[in-house]
Amino acid sequence: MRREVVPFKFAISAGVPMIMTAHVIYPSLDPKNPATMSKCILGELLRQKLKYKGVIVSDDLEMNAIAKHQALSDAAVQSMAAGVDLLLVCKSLDEAMNIYDALSRASRKGILSTKNLETSLSRIIKLKNRYIKTTFMAPQKKIGMWSRHQKWANEILAYA
């Protein structure tokens, strides 16, 4: 608490909108699960004790710290149940689709609570709206965006 949590306390007090989990085990907090999949760390420490209200995003689930130890679909469900709002799957579209299917099944079976999923979605929408309004909608010269980046941003906004 005196060393590892200090940067998180500072970031939360500064209003950081998103925190990324690490696939690290902190035995004094949760001897079994990496932070990404730990209700103790994400739910009890980050959300309850530190009162973090922003988005929690996982590090890439395809990293060996996760992928070598369990099916990514199981890790994804466990991560979402622990409190992750956004999951990163950075290499394989097939794996991302498997995870999507697993999350859908877990939701239908009640393994993932509808209330928690709606809360996560609300956080994500709030974050999206905050940055679409202040970044993508800003005049190009104010944010130094290249013209093709502005074009991509406009295409993304068309789907928003």
* Residues 99 and 123 reside in one and the same domain: no
Do both 101 and 64 map to the same domain? Answer: yes
Indicate whether 75 and 143 sit together in one domain. no
pLDDT of residue 12: 93
**What gap in Å lies between CA 59 and CA 37, rounded to an integer?**
11
Q: Verify that 125 and 148 share a domain, yes or no.
A: yes
Same domain, 103 and 134: no
Mean pLDDT of 52-63: 95
- Of the residues 97, 112, 127, which one is the last residue of a structural domain? 112
Domain boundary residue among 74, 89, 112? 112
> Could you tell me if 82 and 157 lie in one domain?
no
Number of Cβ within 10 Å of residue 59's Cβ equals 20
Query: 81-114: b or e for each residue (b if 16 or more CB lie within 10 Å)?
Result: bbbbbbbbbeeeeebbebbeebbeebbeeeebee
pLDDT band per the 50, 70, 90 thresholds, residue 149: low
CA nearest to 57, candidates 11, 124, 106: 124
Cα distance between residue 113 and residue 127, in whole Å:
21
Q: What is the mean pLDDT of residues 8-30?
A: 92
CA-wise closest residue to 87 among 46, 139, 98 = 98
Q: Are residues 73 and 104 in the same domain?
A: yes
Q: What is the pLDDT of residue 148?
A: 66
Q: What's the pLDDT tens digit per position in 90-113?
A: 998 899 999 999 999 999 999 999
Give the model's pLDDT for residue 132.
Answer: 75
Q: Are residues 126 and 89 in the same domain?
A: no
Token pair listed for 137: 């909608």
Domain that holds residue 145: 113-160
Identify whether residues 61 and 93 lie together within a single domain: yes
pLDDT confidence tier of residue 142, bands split at 50, 70 and 90: very low
Domain count, the chain: 2
- 14 and 43 belong to one structural domain: yes
For the chain, what is the mean pLDDT? 86
Over range 131-148, report the average pLDDT.
Answer: 56
d(CA 103, CA 87): 11
Specify the pTM.
Answer: 0.79
Least confident range of 9-13, 48-52, 106-110, 152-156:
152-156
As a whole number of angstroms, the distance between CA 51 and CA 40 comes to 14
- pLDDT tens digit string along 115-137? 999 999 999 999 988 877 555 55
